[in-house]
Structure 1
Amino acid sequence: MVKSRRNIFLIAVFVLSYFTVHSSQFTPPKADNISHFTFHISEDTAKAGLYDTGKMWTFEFPPYQYLKEKYGFEAAEEWFNDVRLSALRIPGCTASFVSDDGLVMTNNHCAGGVKRQVQKEGEDIEKTGFYAATLEEERKIPNYVAEQLVFLKDITADVTAEIAKGKDLKEKISIREKTMKDMKAKYEKETGLKCDVITYYNGSLFFVQGFKVFRDVRLVFTPEEQIGYFGGDPDNFTFPRYNLDCTFYRVYDENGKPVESKNFFKWSENGASEGELVFTVGNPGSTNRLRTVAQLEYLRDVQYRNMSFLMNSLYNKLAELKVTNPSRADEYEDLRLAFSNGWKSITTTYKALNDPYLMARKKDFERKAVEFVNSNPDLKNTYGDVWRSIATTRAEMAEIDKKIAPFFVNNTYSSRYWVIANELVRYATQMQLPEEKRDTTLKTKRYKDFIA
């Protein structure tokens, strides 16, 4: 039976690190084609907004009041718990329960390696797709898990009490790391769950997250690559989509039976309508929302500028090689796909950093923060010099970067010969150390093959 969900259509399955919804097609900028505005934007008229630092929230701190005031949406704690328990974490991606018998949905590209793991001799699932018409035909994925966040606990008081016992910064850091490790072991023993101790706001808060781990995950459906990746890379990071970008798994319990998933996202018959409140649930990477103006200017003028140039050059060159070397077109497209999400993120962020209006709003935000700190003698004594210190170090880093940038080595963007030379120097340096102090990566098969 098809059911809607409280008039809220939750997008909780199309997420890798996070799924960005745009009202128009995404067109990443070229590094040499960033718009530079010549008009003056007054910091007196460009004001910081309430949520200029973003609208990504954790389940520990749902924005109840904001949702009520902004959208008239009054969500109880039970609603957020239902959403949290419906979402899943899988290797490299986010997924969600979409039925009461363990059916799970995720992106097509999240199953890239899975297809190769479960296909039998003579099959080419990427070309033909796969569909299990019965439970018996579903294929178990080797060494694969799905994790459900079922436990949350604030342990800030416990951790900070231990940290306070440290005599200096070095000892405090050591105590913090040991305490987090001990807390992880403690709660894993108490709950029987896989636990992670995480920090929020640069170590201001500490939480334990406990995950129920499902170790029997089976492939139910995945489309042919031609329709799953239809539109190619340009259609990625856009909405609406015009391909079948999905894969279905089923999660089984320890007795080999489909999991009874009480919390799941129900199919919406009509989808989202214009102006409707939409939520995205996922497992994004870390954020740096409170970077200072000086830090953002450094990223704009140095780091992201350089990275945008390199990534654009490589992306465009691979497109050119697809045309000039058609026999290797698939290989070049795979290389483009491998780094395209990062390319879009970097180049679009670079474009935003060059937007004077956005930067003016950030400056207004920072001005108010500095004024607040300086209005309190205790805060001023502790934090009043932070912004100046950061600005000084960014200026120093910008000068240093000019000297070291040519020696930047990266497997993706650097010459293969440069990577080999760098590894040989590293190998020679490591071999001068006692064996117990050498980097453990030297013992891996991949590294031994590389040296050979």
Structure 2
Amino acid sequence: MRNLQITLTAIALTLAAGAARAEEGMWTYDNFPIARANATLGTNIDQAWLDKVRLSSVKFGGCSAGLVSGEGLVMTNNHCVATCVANLSTQATNFAETGFTPRSREEELKCPGGSAEILTQITDVTERMHAAGAGLEGQAFTRARDAEAGKIEQEACGGAADKRCQVVSLYRGGQFKLYTYKKFSDVRLAWAPEDRAATFGGDLDNFSFPRFAIDAAFIRLYENGQPAVTPTHFTWNADKPVEGTPVFVTGSPGATQRLLTQDQLMTVRDVVLPMDQLIASELRGRLIRYSEEGERQAFEAMDPIVGLENTYKRGLGRMRALTDPSFMAMKAEQEADFRSRAGAVDGDPWTALSAIQPVVRENYAAMALLEGGTGMGTTPVAGGSQLFSWARTLVRGAQERGKPSAERLPEFADSRLAAVQSGLFAERPVYPELEQVRMEWWLSKTREWLTVDDPRVRGLLGDESPEQLSARLIEGTTLADPAVRKALWEGGLAAVEASSDPLIQYLLSIQDETRAVRADWEARVDAPTARASEQLAKARFQAYGDSVYPDATGTLRLTYGKIEGSDVPGQRWGAFTTFDGLWDRATGAAPFDVAPKLLAARDRIPAGTVLNMAVSSDTIGGSSGSPVVNEKGEILGANFDSTVLTQRNAYGYDRNTNRSVIVTTGAVTAALRDVYGMDHLVRELGVAR
């Protein structure tokens, strides 16, 4: 521990200037430090290289991915296609157990509701966004900003079905950029291994290294019923990786909170993470209990349990970071240096943000449970119930679409309705008993956290218990039928209000309570936080210039590092694992049982083939599926995990402990060729048999 403290203290001194050092930084493509990266790594990339990598990078749902052929073939992680696999599976034909191995493109299946995007353009719209909120306070400020963002998006994309425009806030309001994407609404599953091959080691190995997982899959982008033409793509390189090789990781990391003040981090530590962790652990327990009731229940709960386990372990790593005195000392020293360099700042944003924290602490539970969208935590509204989500979209969509676009909730602006409809109309399987478990959990937890006497709780439950209410709503709803959802959406407010569906009527009945919570949060938390954060951003630019990178926001970023192991307390290991190590680690008992098809192919796979590797790149949740490429633009693998110590990456980068876990292209090639008989994909990748 003492060695680790010394290391962190040294890092604190190194990073005290606030400018990014070494491999630190999830950089936007319009401000990537080319010269610094080349000097650090000994590479020779240029703007043309950046453009090719950007246009080869794909955002797929909440994951990242990369184009690997001229015919729309994309590699991502198996866990990134898990929902697609689950939606395409039945108990009788469970592709999670067997793997999905189509013998031709004609057998590739469409992922329900799936879409993918490629970033084509970045435009600065900071002046327009700052002007929109000038002189306004509270909810008027947030709504004016939201309206201007919707207007900008509509001007740029209009009603184009093959484009998506998004105004992105960077540096917590210091900059605003318009991101324009090429959108693909027809995404088909092209290959996925057996789930046991991708999740070998289960939760015990999760967020750790060494790893022995083929966490990879392929999807294909389609246009007009045909594979998309994608001449710009990564070149497949299945050669054995070499330790010390410089690499770049391109993807869409979900969210970091590195620019938060110390007072804001204390709120995350004391309020947000404890609640999220307690709630996630109980929901996980309920789903596990449900899965033990039978084979059907186990099939239905498999995917959500895995997601919750990831959420919980990620939160655990972040909690450890915020309770680590050495790590927090580093953060405090960085803030002190910033304040000394910034000098006098208009409005004293540090004091303003400090004054907001009591409001956040008091209202976080209500906002998280009733509305979500805090930008801080992970608590799922209604326990993640799909039926509840559809009902809320139908009710709010009907209420909002009668207003001018600029006056609506931002998610229902004209520029975003196409995406809303796509998700609403998608044909997805729904499991009523699982939905009831989720709803029952949410109602009981909301009553517990807000207390029985809270008038909002009385509005949610009326005279019913969580068990009675969830059963009545889920058993009576017809929203599992996409035709019903489509008719209600197209019928507008009149159709929604006239509906006899109990879930629709329930959502109508709780709008006053839930909208009030949101309006209060926007006025007393979002708006003043945005104002103060904008002031901090201006001070940061003045102090450090463009050597500062923004927090991750779920948009495309580029980071870099080297292939290497780790040698700090808690994680000492080399850079690689091999198939030979997989066979040695296998016990035959879960979770260390090898997938049947993979085990059967043991003699066909060269034992020394590198399966997984560790990289010192700067990544976070959302980076799953991110292509790992060399300076030639060749893809060497895909990021699929990181270590528990790396979870502190949400708040600050530590080069010594930060390691991303990568499934190699060599391992994927071996799986395609030697295990699953996917010869047509091997040929498409340009690999000699």
Normalising to structure 2: TM-score of the pair?
0.49
- Is the partner of 1:132 in helix, strand or coil? coil
Pairing 1:275-354 to 2, within 5 Å after superposition: 275-309=244-278, 311=280, 334=303, 336-354=305-323
Distance in structure 2 (CA, Å) of the matches to 1:419 and 1:63: 46
Q: 1:417 to 1:206 in 2, by over 3 A?
A: closer
CA spacing shift, 1:81–1:403, aligned 2, 3 Å = closer
Q: How far has the Cα of 1:197 moved from its partner?
A: 1.4
For residue 266 of structure 1, the aligned residue among 227, 232, 235 is: 235
- Alignment of structure 1 residues 173-252 onto 2, 5 Å: 173-189=142-158, 193-239=163-209, 241-252=211-222
Distance 1:101 1:240, change over 3 A: farther
User: How many correspondences in the alignment?
Assistant: 399
Alpha-carbon distance in structure 1 between the residues aligned to 2:271 and 2:151: 40
Matches within 5 A, 1:62-101: 62-101=32-71
1:365, distance to aligned residue in structure 2 (A): 1.0
Aligned CA distance change for structure 1 residues 318 and 450 (closer, same or farther; 3 Å): same
Q: How does 1:162-177 map to 2 (within 5 A)?
A: 162-164=132-134, 166=135, 172-177=141-146
> Could you give the per-residue CA deviations for residues 302-344 of structure 1, whole angstroms, max 9, x where no partner exists?
43245445555766x5799699989776677655313122212
1:388 paired residue among 348, 351, 356: 351
Contact 1:48/1:364 (8 A) holds in 2: no
Is the contact between residue 117 and residue 182 of structure 2 (CA under 8 Å) also seen in structure 1? yes
What's 1:425 paired with? Answer: 459
Q: What is the CA distance between 1:67 and its match in structure 2? A: 0.7
Q: Does 1:158 align with 2:128?
A: yes
Post-superposition CA distance 1:385-414 (Å, at most 9, x none): 33234335446766x589999x99975595
Q: What amino acid does structure 1 have at the position aligned with 2:168?
A: I
User: 2:331 maps to what in 1?
Assistant: 362
CA distance in 2, matches of 1:396, 1:169: 14
Aligned CA RMSD, in angstroms, stands at 4.5
Structure 2 partner of 1:103: 73
1:153 aligns to what SS in structure 2? strand
Partner of 1:447: 503
- Indicate the SS of the match to 1:110: coil
- Residues 390-441 of structure 1 show CA distances to partners (whole Å, capped at 9, x for unaligned) of 335446766x589999x99975595764557876623659xxxxxx99xx99
How far residue 99 of structure 1 moved from its aligned partner, in angstroms, is 1.3
Deviation at 1:103, TM superposition (A): 1.1
Kindly state the Cα deviation for residue 221 of structure 1 after the two structures are TM-superposed.
1.4
Q: Which runs of 5 or more structure 1 residues have no equivalent in the other structure?
A: 1-34, 430-435
The one-letter code sitting in structure 1 at the alignment partner of 2:263 is: A
Q: Distance in 1 between matches of 2:41 and 2:32?
A: 14
CA distance in 2, matches of 1:419, 1:366: 36
Amino acid at match of 2:228: V
**1:129-160: CA deviation from partner (whole Å, max 9, x where unpaired):** 22222222223344432211112211223333
Alpha-carbon distance between aligned partners in 2 of 1:167 and 1:310, rounded to the nearest angstrom: 37
Contact 2:291/2:301 (<8 A) preserved: no
Name the SS for the 2:144 alignment partner. Answer: helix
Residues 1:47 and 2:19 aligned together: no
Alpha-carbon contact 1:144-1:216 (below 8 Å) kept: yes
SS at match of 2:179: strand
Q: 1:450 to 1:230 in 2, by over 3 A?
A: farther
Q: One-letter code of the match for 2:119?
A: L
Report the secondary structure of 2:236's partner residue. coil
Distance in structure 1 (CA, Å) of the matches to 2:214 and 2:500 = 38
Identity %: 26
What do the CA deviations read for 1:350-388 (whole angstroms, capped 9, x no partner)?
Answer: 1011221111111111111111222x4xx3xx14x3323
**Does residue 57 of the first structure (1) align with residue 23 of the second (2)?**
no
Give the AA of the match of 1:242. Answer: F
Give the 3 Å change call, closer, same or farther, for CA 442–395 of structure 1 in structure 2.
Answer: farther
How far 1:187 moved relative to its partner?
0.7
Q: Which moved more, 1:342-351 or 1:265-274?
A: 265-274
Equivalent pair of 1:196/1:209 in contact (CA under 8 Å): yes
* 51-60 or 151-160, larger mean C-alpha shift: 51-60
Instruction: Assess, with a 3 A threshold, how the Cα gap between structure 1 residues 392 and 212 changes in structure 2: closer, same or farther.
Output: closer
What is the distance in 2 between the residues matched to 1:287 and 1:361?
Answer: 17
Residue 341 of structure 2 corresponds to: 372
Counterpart-to-counterpart distance in 2, 1:44 and 1:244: 37
Displacement of 1:241: 3.9
What TM-score results when the alignment is normalised by the length of structure 1? 0.72
Quote the Cα distance in structure 1 between the aligned partners of 2:364 and 2:106: 61
Cα distance in 2 for partners of 1:84, 1:210 equals 12
